[in-house]
Amino acid sequence: MQEKLYNAIVEMKEDEALALAREELEGSRDPLELVDLFRKAVEEVGDRYEKGEYFLPELMMTGQIMEQLAELTKEKLKDEYGDSGKTRGKVLIGTVKDDIHDIGKNIVKFMLDANGFEVKDLGVDVPADKFVEEAKVFEPQVIGLSALLTLAFDPMKDTVEALEKAGLRDKIKIMVGGAPVDDQVCEYTGADDWGKDAVEAVSLAKKWVGGA
């Protein structure tokens, strides 16, 4: 049964995955075991993405399936274990000022989330000050800056500088990403590293918080 559920998730069989999960929850299954299974399934989807077998549609579909599965398990999880969520680390993420594109950023958010990070998403068109302000309160180990426009290279740079000025730079690793981002852009912005997709973002975050 568990293997069937795992396969249904990994093979994008949405209805089957949801039906099987409901059955499991109605039985005496420990919800933590299920959460663990979900995490493994997402890892497998990530592996297939890295191998070039899966692409954006599968990541988005997995995101949808996981959202619904999380909703299903939430109640039972809370009843049996309370709110004690232990996370791998904290990531603050957003699309920088003057850019309102969010498809890539949303995928990165979901993948980090599925890999056990606590992610705070500031949305799009986020000014440098806002990143600083939120970083002080949320205390992330990693900040992810996203952009699609070439015009957003400067706002990325400004954000890195603002974090520096606020004295937060030493404590936080910064990654940048988005279609036009490459080594050149990464260096220009002063970020620590960049990734070409959501899987690379997860690898960087894992590397930096020591969870690789």
Positions in the binding site for other proteins (CB under 8 A): 12, 14, 53-57, 60-61, 64, 98-101, 103, 106, 125, 149-151, 153-154, 179-182, 184-185, 187-188, 197
State the minimum distance, in angstroms, from the CB of residue 59 to other proteins. 9
Tell the smallest beta-carbon distance from residue 100 to other proteins (Å).
5
CA 197 – CA 195 distance, rounded (Å): 6
Pull the structure tokens for residue 80.
């049996």
Decide: 55 and 108 in contact? Cβ < 8 Å. Answer: no
Q: Which of 125/164 has CB closer to other proteins?
A: 125
Q: Which two tokens stand for residue 162?
A: 């603002």
Give the burial string for 166-186 (b: 16+ CB within 10 Å, else e). Answer: eebbeebbbbbbbeebeeebb
**Secondary structure (3-state) at 118:** strand
Rounded to a whole number of angstroms, the minimum distance from the CB of residue 84 to other proteins is 32
Residues 6+ apart with CB under 8 A from 7: 13
Q: Which is nearer to other proteins, 147 or 205 (CB)?
A: 147
Please state, in angstroms and rounded to a whole number, the distance separating the CA atoms of residues 176 and 184: 12
Q: From the CB of 7, what's the least distance to other proteins, in Å?
A: 15
* Nearer CB in complex with other proteins: 15/79: 15
Instruction: Between 35 and 60, name the residue whose CB sits nearer to other proteins.
Output: 60
Min separation Cβ 54 and other proteins, Å: 7
Which of 80/182 has CB closer to other proteins?
A: 182
